[in-house]
Every structure is written in C-alpha cells, then in structure tokens.
C-alpha cells in the first residue's frame, strides 16, 4: 500500500474532515485545525489540498443548503471515502507500529 503515501498536511486535513464528520466545510476545517494545532492555516493551502485529496478519491464532497450569511453561496461538505478511511487508518497504524518499535532505552529519562 506504499503508493498511498499521505503528506503531513494531507493527513491532518483528512483527520480534521473525519473529526468534523457531517460539518466539514472550508471555514469549519480551518477553525478546527487552527484550534487544535495552534497554527495558521491559509485558505489557499487548504483548498488546494482538499481538491487534491478529492481527486485521489480519499475524500468526497456535496453541496449543502444555501444560506444568506455567505452571500447566498452554498457550503461544500467533505467526507471520508472508504478508500480514504482505509489509507488514513493504515497511516495511523504504520505510525503506531513505528512508535512502538522504539526501544524504551531510546527515550531520555526525564
């Protein structure tokens, strides 16, 4: 499955989409990421990654209802696809396995 490599930012975006479940649209994703990770996320970077993940088939999206808050523009809600959730899970497992493989001695005593 090595061809499904996720970049760090891609991974975080997918995690956030998962966390927000049915509420994952642009601004909410940015808020969630900024809130959890304490780092600035630019809309340009996020949107590019979202579209890329969608074209890879990891994410899917659909329009929500129009509201008048956003100048009548609909929100686009993202959600994980089956492929996406599998890739995400595999990534997490890989990480965990690697973390567990670190010998206890390697951690400096604190």
Partner 1 sequence: MKPLPNIQPPELFLRFFRWFCDPAIEEDIEGDLREMFDRDVTTGGSIAKAKWRFSIRILRLFRPGIIKKIGHSTPLNRSSPMFKNYFLTSMRSLMRSKGFSSINIIGLAVGFATFSLISFYVYNELSFDRYHQNADRIFRIVENLRTENEELFQSTSSPPMGPNFLREFPEVVSYVRFQQWSLLAQRNNISSYERDSYIADSTVFDVFSFNLLKGDKKTALREPFSIVLTESMAKKYFGNEEPLGQTLKMDYDNYKVTGVMEDVPENSHFRFSNLISFSTWSRNNKRAEDVAWFWNGFHTYLLLRDAESADQVRAKMKDFIAKNIEKGGMYYEDLPLQPLTSIYMAPPRSWENGARGSMSNVYILSIIAVFILLIACFNYINLATARASRRLKEVGLRKSLGALRRMLIAQFLGESLIVTFIASLIAVMLAWIALPAFRTLVESPLSFSIFPNPWLVAGAALTLVIVVGLLAGAYPAYIISKFQPLQIFRPSAKGIFGHHNLRKVLVGIQFVISITLVAGTMLVYDQLDVVRNQDLGFDKEGLVILPTNGDTAIVNYLEAVKHELKQVPGVIDVAGSAQIPGQSANNLYTEIEMADGKMSPTNINYNFVDYDFLATYDIKVLAGRNFAREVKADDTTAYLINETAVKDFGWTPEEAIGKKVHGRYHGKIIGVVKDFHYRSLHTKVEPLMMALTKNVNRMAIRIERSDDVHATVERVQKKWSELIPYLPFDYSFLDVEFDRQYKADQQLGKVAGVFTGLAMFIGCLGLLGLTSFVVERRTKEIGIRKVLGASVFSVVLLITREFIWLVLIALVIATPITWYLIGQWEQNFTLQAVINPLRFAVAGLAVFLVAWLTISFLSLRAATANPTKALKTE
Residues that bind partner 1 (CB under 8 A): 25-27, 30, 42-45, 47-48, 51-52, 63, 68-71, 73-76
Nearer to partner 1, 5 or 48 (CB): 48
**69: DSSP letter:** T
Nearer to partner 1, 48 or 92 (CB): 48
How far is Cα 100 from Cα 110, in angstroms, rounded to an integer?
A: 19
Nearer to partner 1, 25 or 58 (CB): 25
Nearest distance in Å: CB 48, partner 1: 4
* Structure-block tokens of residue 104: 């206890």
Nearest distance in Å: CB 62, partner 1: 10
Residue 27 in contact with residue 63, Cβ under 8 Å?
Answer: no
Nearest distance in Å: CB 27, partner 1: 5
Query: Would you tell me how many other CB atoms lie within 10 Å of the CB of residue 67?
Result: 11
Number of H helices, E strands in the chain: 4, 2
């Amino acid at each position: 499955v090595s061809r499904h490599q996720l970049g760090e930012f891609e991974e975080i975006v997918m995690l956030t989409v998962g966390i927000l479940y049915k509420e994952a649209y642009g601004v909410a994703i940015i808020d969630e990421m900024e809130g959890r990770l304490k780092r600035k996320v630019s809309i340009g970077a996020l949107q590019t990654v979202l579209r890329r993940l969608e074209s890879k088939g990891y994410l899917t999206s659909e329009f929500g209802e129009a509201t008048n808050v956003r100048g009548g523009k609909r929100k686009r809600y993202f959600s994980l696809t089956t492929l996406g959730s599998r890739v995400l899970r595999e990534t997490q497992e890989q990480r965990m396995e690697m973390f567990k493989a670190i010998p206890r001695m390697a951690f400096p005593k604190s």
